[in-house]
């Protein structure tokens, strides 16, 4: 297991917290909450070691499109980058619904 | 769906319960709009033991506790998430269920007939939490026995994990047990039996054989499951409601000690028993599923 932390400048306010996914094979759990400090913070716990650069790429791309002012916690159980992106978008959509 | 529909149309009209997450399952069982989660993921009551062993935890520890209503009556659903660590029972997951059962007991003692539903999707004890998991399961079992004096404790086993280990004993203590054909109910899972006793004893990859022994249809035919239902959310929610309408059984399954001792006495351990033969010996001759 590895833990990563990321920070991004953010500009889109989210209305409410959102929870999506499950810590099951090939999937991940995301907890997204509005952040008070105007930034985006992401904490990743992943069962698969050695993928730090991939996480950075996936999150860079996500926040370039959706700079959500949010604290995001990810519990990953081997999700592919595509799955991670879909779950992030799902959480973002739910937080703005 | 009208009665003239083809079997395929009826199949496509179903909403699969098996494919739902624990949270969605609880929502389906409760009256629409009444779902309210207690100790949800944002309360971050996860297992303290998994991270120490380099295992990613889940923030609800794989158990969803939801208050709500069933047919307008207060209810609590305790749903285990089979996708997280095989639905295994650790210290926190087990304590959440025990506390929910204890609060339902307190309600019933004080005259509020809170209806308890367990959605069992579990391989049993979480091996990484060892004795704490075993103790948690014992507490769940004691809480079921205390609560069922007042109100039926209804168990649902939908699949595809099934219900195994100590939690299969918890299932056996339920007042009413509802299962699908995809469900399995047993003490040791087939992989464990193959590993311990050899492939001559049981080929765990032989799905037809495994389900003929411990599948929902077989367990219903020999009287260990009360209701066999399709994998359909509405059908399962309906079966839960019907179980509460029926009320408490005259005697719980686990109180019928003489019956089950007689059944065991009828089995010759020298003979290799199979599913159909057990139906003849114990059940209704295979008329169900």
Inter-chain CB proximity A25 and B57 less than 8 Å:
no
Neighbours of B285 (CB within 10 A): 11
Nearest CB among B54, B58, B81 relative to A75 is that of: B58
pLDDT of B3 reads 61
Report the CATH number that the domain containing residue A32 is assigned in CATH: 3.30.230
* B103, part of any domain: yes
Tell me B194's DSSP state.
H
pLDDT of B289 reads 36
- The range of the structural domain enclosing residue B95 comes to 16-185+225-255
Return the SS3 of B68: strand
Inter-chain CB proximity B42 and A27 less than 8 Å:
no
* B89, part of any domain: yes
Asked if A75 is an interface residue toward chain B (Cβ–Cβ < 8 A), one would say: yes
Domain count along chain B = 1
* B260, part of any domain: no
Q: What is the DSSP string of chain A?
A: -EEEEEEEE--EE--S-EEEE-SSTT-EEEEEEE-SSSEEEEEEEESSTT-HHHHHHHHHHHHHH--EEEEEEEEESS--HHHHHHHHHHHHHHHH-
Neighbours of A50 (CB within 10 A): 8
Please name every residue paired with A13 in a beta bridge, in sequence order, or none if there are none: A69
Nearest CB among A1, A24, A29 relative to B59 is that of: A29
Inter-chain CB proximity B55 and A1 less than 8 Å:
yes
Pick from A1, A4, A18, A23 the residue to mutate for testing the B interface (most B CBs within 10 Å).
A23
- The range of the structural domain enclosing residue A79 comes to 2-96
The closest of B114, B106, B103, B29 to B74, measured between CA atoms, is B114
Nearest CB among A17, A33, A76 relative to B56 is that of: A76
* B118, part of any domain: yes
Inter-chain CB proximity B59 and A22 less than 8 Å:
no
Report the CATH number that the domain containing residue B124 is assigned in CATH: 3.90.226.10
Q: Give per-residue pLDDT as tens, B28-71.
A: 999 999 999 999 999 999 999 999 999 999 999 999 999 999 99
B103/B261 Cα distance (integer angstroms): 34
Q: Give per-residue pLDDT as tens, A12-51.
A: 999 999 999 999 999 999 999 999 889 999 999 999 999 9
Q: What share of chain B is helix, strand, coil (3-state, %, to 5)?
A: 45, 15, 40
* B5, part of any domain: no
Domain count along chain A = 1
pLDDT in tens, chain B (289 residues): 556 788 898 888 899 999 999 999 999 999 999 999 999 999 999 999 999 999 999 999 999 999 999 999 999 999 999 999 999 999 999 999 999 999 999 999 999 999 999 999 999 999 999 999 999 999 999 999 999 999 999 999 999 999 999 999 999 999 999 999 999 999 999 999 999 999 998 999 999 999 999 999 999 999 999 999 999 999 999 999 999 999 999 999 999 999 999 999 999 988 888 999 999 998 754 443 3
Structure tokens at B263: 């059944």
> Helix axis angle, A52-65 relative to A81-96, nearest 10°?
40
Residues 6+ apart with CB under 8 A from B283: B221, B222, B223
Please name the residue ranges forming H helices in B110-155. 130-147
B112/A91 Cα distance (integer angstroms): 37
Q: Give per-residue pLDDT as tens, A78-89.
A: 999 999 999 999
Q: Which of residues 16-55 of A touch B (CB under 8 A)?
A: 17, 19, 22-25, 27, 29, 31, 33, 45-47
Q: Which residue of A has its CA nearest to B22?
A: A22
């Amino acid at each position: 297991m590895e833990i990563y932390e990321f920070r991004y400048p953010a500009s889109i306010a989210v209305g409410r917290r959102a929870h999506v996914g499950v810590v099951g094979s090939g999937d991940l759990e995301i907890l997204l909450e509005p952040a008070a400090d105007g930034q985006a913070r992401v904490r990743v716990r992943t069962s698969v070691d050695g993928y730090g650069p991939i996480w950075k790429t996936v999150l860079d791309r996500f926040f370039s499109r959706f700079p959500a002012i949010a604290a995001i916690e990810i519990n990953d159980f081997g999700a592919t980058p595509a799955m991670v992106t879909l779950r992030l978008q799902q959480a973002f959509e739910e937080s703005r619904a | 769906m009208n009665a003239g529909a083809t079997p395929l149309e009826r199949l496509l009209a179903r909403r699969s319960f098996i494919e739902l997450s624990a949270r969605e399952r609880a929502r389906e069982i409760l009256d629409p709009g009444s779902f309210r989660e207690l100790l949800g993921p944002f309360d971050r009551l996860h297992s303290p033991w998994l991270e120490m062993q380099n295992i990613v935890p889940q923030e609800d520890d794989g158990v969803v506790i939801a208050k709500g209503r069933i047919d307008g009556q207060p209810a609590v659903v305790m749903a285990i998430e089979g996708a997280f660590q095989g639905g295994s029972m650790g210290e926190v997951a087990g304590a959440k269920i025990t506390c929910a059962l204890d609060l339902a007991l307190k309600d019933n003692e004080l005259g509020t007939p809170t209806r308890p539903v367990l959605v069992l999707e579990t391989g049993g004890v979480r091996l990484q939490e060892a004795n704490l998991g075993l103790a948690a399961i014992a507490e769940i079992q004691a809480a079921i026995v205390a609560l069922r004096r007042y109100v039926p404790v209804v168990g649902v086993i939908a699949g595809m994990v099934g219900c195994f280990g100590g939690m299969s004993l918890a299932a056996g203590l339920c007042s009413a047990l509802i299962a699908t054909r995809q469900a399995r109910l047993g003490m040791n899972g087939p992989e464990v039996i193959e590993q311990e006793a050899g492939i001559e004893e049981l080929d765990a990859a032989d799905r037809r054989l495994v389900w003929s022994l411990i599948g929902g249809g077989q367990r219903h035919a020999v009287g260990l499951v009360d209701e066999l239902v399709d994998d359909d959310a509405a059908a399962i929610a309906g079966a839960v409601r019907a179980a509460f309408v029926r009320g408490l059984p005259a005697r719980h399954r686990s109180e019928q000690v003489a019956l089950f001792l007689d059944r065991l006495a009828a089995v010759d351990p020298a003979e290799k028993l199979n599913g159909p033969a057990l139906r003849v010996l114990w059940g209704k001759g295979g008329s169900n599923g």
